[in-house]
Structure 1
Amino acid sequence: MAVTLVGARLTAVSPSIDDFADLSIKIGTVTRAEPNDGARSPALRLWIDFGPDGVRQSSAKVTDRYAPEDLVGTQVAAVTGLEPLRVGGFRSDVLVIGALTPDGVVLLRPDGPVADGSDVA
């Protein structure tokens, strides 16, 4: 669901199926991770290898549960096909996804190794 700022309040806008046509969720391996000191909220800079799609970057607010060294070499799920944005001066190409819990975000990951760049069905 998209959110639009209208005056001083936020309103939800239902996306169409066309909004999702260029998006996919893929699995990639974190090859490098470090704090994103430029972000407004604590976050990590991640470099993620998506195999044939190459290495993409993400700024992820996952510091409540994960240190950079915990993530290097692990696979994560991420939304690809988004417009890149800058977070604290860092280019973020993909959106790493997880479940929100009282203790922070728990990353969504495969329960076994899969090829980097695999689509999530």
Structure 2
Amino acid sequence: MIDWKDFEKVEMRIGTILDAQDFPEAKNPAYQLIIDFGEEIGIKKSSAQITKRYSKEDLIGKQIIAVVNFPKKQIGKFNSECLVLGSVNGEDIVLLTPDLKVQNGLQIG
């Protein structure tokens, strides 16, 4: 169990995927994503193992939810700057997305 103060430290925000590219250097099939989190947060990069369910073309313009206050994670030569959230069933991942289009950068709480 965590307490509310621990949960409040996790900064989840809405972002829109601007670009998705193959990530052949990753251990497991993945994409390199460029995500716009609005003026306050800006543009961040992320690696996401979502190739089974999503094509690169499907991802462009899609709004997602991500944790934006983790430290950068080096994955090969790529720096992942946020964690895109999804429900996980083995290797099948479904992205968490807002029900309606909203402003980039809005906080989840």
| TM value normalised by structure 1 | 0.81
Deviations 1:22-71 (A, max 9, x none): 43110000000011111111110000000021000000011110111110
Count of matched residue pairs: 108
Picking from 15, 27, 32, the partner of 1:28 is: 15
Q: Which of 74, 79, 97 is the aligned partner of 2:85?
A: 97
Query: RMSD of the TM alignment (CA)?
Result: 1.8
Q: Normalized against structure 2, the TM-score is what?
A: 0.89
* Higher normalized contact order (CA 8 Å, seq sep 6+, divided by chain length): 2
5+ long unaligned stretches in structure 1: 1-13
* Richer in strand (by share): 1
Q: Is the 8 A contact 1:40 1:88 kept in 2?
A: no
Q: Whose radius of gyration is greater, 1 or 2?
A: 1
* Aligned equivalents of 2:50, 2:37: Cα separation in 1: 20
**C-alpha distance 63-17 of structure 1, shift in aligned 2 (>3 A):** same
5+ unaligned residues in a row in structure 2: which ranges? none
- Does the 8 Å contact 1:65/1:103 carry over to 2? no
